[in-house]
Amino acid sequence: MSARKLLVVLAAAVLLVFSSASIAQKRDHFRIAWSIYAGWMPWSYADSQGIMDKWARKYGIKVDLVQVNDYVESVNQYTSGNVDGVTATNMDALTLPAASGVDTTAIILGDYSDGNDGIVLKNGQSLKDIKGRQVNLVQYSVSDYLLSRALQSIGMTQRDVKPVNTSDADIVGAYANPDVTAAVTWNPQLSVIESMPNSTLVFSSKQIPREILDLMIVNTQTLKNNPALGKALVGAWYEIMAKMAAGDTDALSKMAEAAGTDLAGYKHQLAATHLYTDPKNAAALMSDPELLKTMKKVATFSFKHGLLGPSAPGPGVVGIKTPAGVYGNKANIKLRFDPSFTKAYISAQ
């Protein structure tokens, strides 16, 4: 190739890069995935009642909220770039997109599980009765983390049980099988399983408060190029949080129906969910050094279980950034907690 032709090709490539960046900055249509869980049902309400549309119009964009029935699949859809954001736990945000190299930002810290995740046994009265049993759960998810933390509390490890990977969409049906005597899951599935004959909840996330956090995560570059997306999501979320804080029966009933339960059942699930209905409290936790300590604990667990990749040299391979500092590799920050959108919402009220 001649030097002149090479210059033309290079010029075209540079033009393409700038053109792509320009398109990204002017983008006005986004897709956000969510799955059924007590703390994420507000997104169903935001969709069905036009609240998401209202906030999106305010910032001149369109946001499609896409329900995905399988939780892990919803996060995989985000990791592969098929959607711009997704509801996820803090652990899964780290081990799936961030560990895969997708720079990810948590813009909403919606709640922490305060009993919404649990371990249920048939014909067992205490956690110690789990020894030697097959345990059905969504492997490599937050359920795996809960199981390990529970076993640790009684001097056991996962070598003392037999984990069986089961999707959240299938776990209720699996537990109904007489041969399945132990399961780890989250609400609403947890409530259904716990109500089955001879079943006992022997450990829950209430015993490890503020470790299982439920987030809205968005691709960092998409957010940087399109801050309107963050503003619209946060605005819609806190409008609904205000309704929930006020005990809006109509709103709660619609969320309950979408979750496959009734109002009483949904309120039971919410009782095990520490919702941050006040945006000031959510922003404060994002900025609290406690969050970095929690993420260090989560990263250590994830590394021990090979969830940060087969070649990960240590638990800090992925940098995690919060306003309080950075845990892990500062040259490889892939998970960020950003309260700025929540703070902007607070200031605008």
Asked if residue 342 and residue 228 are part of one domain, the reply reads yes
Asked if residue 269 and residue 199 are part of one domain, the reply reads no
Residue 18: inside a domain, yes or no? no
- Could you check whether the bond before residue 279 is cis, i.e. omega within 30 degrees of 0? no
Average pLDDT value for residue range 73-95: 97
Report the candidate in 76, 83, 82 with the shortest Cα–Cα distance to residue 99: 76
Say whether pLDDT at 10 is over 90. Answer: no
Residue 83: inside a domain, yes or no? yes
Say whether pLDDT at 103 is over 50. Answer: yes
Q: Report percent pLDDT > 70 for the chain.
A: 93
Residue 17: inside a domain, yes or no? no
What Å distances lie between residue 223 and 208, 327, 343, CA to CA? 32, 22, 16
Residue 338 banded pLDDT, cuts 50, 70, 90: very high
Asked if residue 228 and residue 203 are part of one domain, the reply reads no
Asked if residue 175 and residue 105 are part of one domain, the reply reads no
Domain boundary among 207, 242, 269: 207
Say whether pLDDT at 57 is over 70. Answer: yes
Asked if residue 288 and residue 265 are part of one domain, the reply reads yes
Rounded CA separation 271/23 (Å):
44
Residue 279: inside a domain, yes or no? yes
Q: What average pLDDT does the structure give for the chain?
A: 92
Q: Report percent pLDDT > 90 for the chain.
A: 89
Asked if residue 240 and residue 197 are part of one domain, the reply reads no
Asked if residue 220 and residue 71 are part of one domain, the reply reads yes
Domain that includes residue 160, residue range? 117-207
Residue 15: inside a domain, yes or no? no
Domain boundary among 150, 176, 207: 207
Residue 25 banded pLDDT, cuts 50, 70, 90: low
Among the residue ranges 10-24, 47-61, 150-164, the one predicted with the least confidence is 10-24
Asked if residue 247 and residue 144 are part of one domain, the reply reads no
Q: What is the CATH number of the domain that holds 331?
A: 3.40.190.10
Say whether pLDDT at 176 is over 70. Answer: yes
Report the candidate in 157, 204, 207 with the shortest Cα–Cα distance to residue 184: 204
Average pLDDT value for residue range 245-262: 97
The pLDDT, as a whole number, for residue 140 is 84
The pLDDT, as a whole number, for residue 20 is 39
Greater confidence, 191 or 2? 191
Residue 141 banded pLDDT, cuts 50, 70, 90: confident
The pLDDT, as a whole number, for residue 22 is 39
Asked if residue 295 and residue 251 are part of one domain, the reply reads yes
Asked if residue 85 and residue 229 are part of one domain, the reply reads yes
Identify the bridge partners of residue 336 per DSSP, sorted by sequence position.
105, 321
Among the residue ranges 14-23, 80-89, 126-135, the one predicted with the least confidence is 14-23
Say whether pLDDT at 4 is over 80. Answer: no
Say whether pLDDT at 13 is over 60. Answer: no
Residue 10: inside a domain, yes or no? no
What Å distances lie between residue 119 and 30, 154, 246, 300, CA to CA? 36, 14, 32, 22
